[in-house]
Amino acid sequence: MTDDLLGRHRSVLPDWLALYYDEPLEITHGEGRHVWDSDGNRYLDFFGGILTTMTAHALPEVTKAVGEQAGRILHSSTLYLNRPMVELAERIVHLSGIPDARVFFTTSGTEANDTALLLATTYRRTNTVLAMRNSYHGRSFSAVGITGNRGWSPTSLSPLQTLYVHGGVRTRGPFASLDDHDFVAACVDDLKDLLGHTRPPAALIAEPIQGVGGFTSPPDGLYAAFREVLHERGVLWIADEVQTGWGRTGEHFWGWQAHGRNGPPDIVTFAKGIGNGMSIGGVIARSEIMNCLDAHSISTFGGTQITMAAGLANLTYLLEHDLQGNARRVGGLLIQRLRAVAAQVPAVREVRGRGLMIGIELTKPGTDEAYPEAVSAVLEAARAGGLLIGKGGGHDTSALRIAPPLTLNVAEAEEGAAILERALRSIP
C-alpha cells in the first residue's frame, strides 16, 4: 500500500516536495507521544509533525473541543464576529508581554511572517529588512527573501532588500572562537558597521533558536544588545516564535525572553504548536504597528472557529499542566543523556538546545566538515529502532532535530535516548 501511495504521490505532487526516508512512511494515527504507520509499526515521535503536535497526539481535551465546535459551525471568515477567536486573542495578548497588543490570526507561520513584514515595512516606509544568517522564515516569496539558509531558498528574487547579520550560530563563523561576551560585542560592532552603510531598515527578524537551521542559537542577550542599537534608529524587532513559543524551550514561555532585558519585541509571530496540529499562525504587535495599514483586509481561513477552539483547548491544557516546566525538567535530563552518549561518538560535534528543542550536529570525525550522509543514516537507524526524529542545519543538513511533544515523560525520554544512542554508534 505504501509503495502504491508513493507512486501516486510522485505522479501528482511536485518533485521538490521533500519526503523523509529511503522508503517514505505513511502515518495513519497517533496517541500521546506515539504514532503508527500504515504497516502497523509503532514509533516514539520525537519530531511532532515538525514541532506542531505540541502537547500530544489525539489529546482528548483538544479532540473534544474540535468535535463540539464542528457540530456547531466550522467557519465563517473574519467578516463576522467570532467568539473563539476573540477569546484566544485575549489570552495571547495577556501572555505576550507586549503593551496594548493586537493579534491577527493566519493559517501558518509563513503567512504570519509575511504579515509581520507587511506591517514593519509599511510602518517604517522602507523595504529593507535585517535577517540572520542560517535563518528560515517560511516558503512564500517574501519569506524566502529573508531566509538565510541556502538549502531552503530556491530564488534570489525578492520584493525586499535583505541584509544578513552575524550571530545566529554560536559555534561557527568568524566570531566562533570568542567567549560569549566578546562574541556579542563583535556581533554588535558588525551590526553597527552594517547600519553605517545603509539607510535605516524596517526591522530585524530573528528566531531566538533557529529551527530549520539545526536548533542553533546565540548567547543569551544578543538580541537585547541588538535592540539597543536598533531602537536608537527606530528599527523594529520581530521575534519569529513559530518554533520556540509556548514554553518549548523550558526556561522561558517565549524564546525572546532570553534576550528581553529591554522589554518585549515590537512584533512576535507564532504558529505550529498552538493548534496541536490544526492550522493556526498569527502575529502579535503593538496597536500602533498593527493598525498602520490604511486599506481593508480580511482573512478567509485565519482564525476560523474550529482552529480557534483547538487552540484554546490546547493552550489551556498546556498552562494547567505546566508543560513548560515539564519541558525544562525532562528536556534537561534528555540533553544530559545525549551529551554523555555524544562524548563517545567521534562524529558528534555538538549537542545543543533548550528544553525539548535539541540539536545534534554531526561532522566528519576530526574535522568541522558537514556529514549529511551520517545524518541521513542516523535518521534511518532511529526509524528502524522505533523513533522518529528530524534533521536540518545550514551546513549541508548537518544536524539531527529532536522536538517531542511537551508531555514527554522520563521513561519515554530514556527510551528515545537509548534508540538514538544505538543509531549514533552505528555511524561508520
The CATH number of whichever domain residue 375 belongs to comes to 3.90.1150.10
For residues 338 and 421, membership in a common domain is answered with: yes
Q: Which pLDDT band holds residue 395 (cuts at 50, 70, 90)?
A: low
Q: What's the start-to-end Cα distance of the chain, in Å? A: 33
Q: By residue range, what is the domain housing residue 226?
A: 64-320
For residues 109 and 220, membership in a common domain is answered with: yes
How far apart are alpha carbons 20 and 386 in whole angstroms? 15
Indicate if the pLDDT at residue 159 is higher than 70: yes
Q: How confident is the model at residue 152, as a pLDDT?
A: 81
Quick count: other Cβ atoms within 10 Å of Cβ 71?
8
For residues 106 and 220, membership in a common domain is answered with: yes
Our CA dihedral for 419, 425, 427, 428, rounded to 10 degrees, sits at -150
| 290: its cell numbers | 498593527
For residues 39 and 78, membership in a common domain is answered with: no
For residues 163 and 250, membership in a common domain is answered with: yes
For residues 95 and 155, membership in a common domain is answered with: yes
Rg, Å, the chain Cα set = 21
Q: Which pLDDT band holds residue 423 (cuts at 50, 70, 90)?
A: very high
Bin 397: left if φ > 0, else alpha if -120 < ψ < 50, else beta: left
For residues 391 and 361, membership in a common domain is answered with: yes
Answer with the one of 320, 353, 387 that is the final residue of a domain. Answer: 320
| 99: its cell numbers | 503593551
Answer with the one of 320, 340, 368 that is the final residue of a domain. Answer: 320
What b/e readout covers 359-369, taking b as 16+ CB neighbours within 10 angstroms? bbbbbeeeeee
For residues 110 and 14, membership in a common domain is answered with: no
Q: Give the H/E segment covering residue 357.
A: strand 357-362
For residues 82 and 9, membership in a common domain is answered with: no
| pTM for the model | 0.96
Please report, as a single letter, which amino acid is at residue 109. G
In this predicted model, what pLDDT tens digit does every residue of 361-378 receive, in sequence order?
999 999 999 999 999 999
Quick count: other Cβ atoms within 10 Å of Cβ 345?
18
Judged by DSSP in three states, 425 sits in: helix
- The average pLDDT across 350-359 equals 97
For residues 285 and 336, membership in a common domain is answered with: no
For residues 133 and 267, membership in a common domain is answered with: yes
For residues 133 and 100, membership in a common domain is answered with: yes
Answer with the one of 264, 289, 320 that is the final residue of a domain. Answer: 320
**What's the burial of 58, exposed, middle or buried (CB within 10 Å: 0-12/13-18/19+)?**
middle
Q: How many domains does the chain have?
A: 2
Q: Where are the beta strands (DSSP E) in 118-228?
A: 128-132, 161-165, 203-206
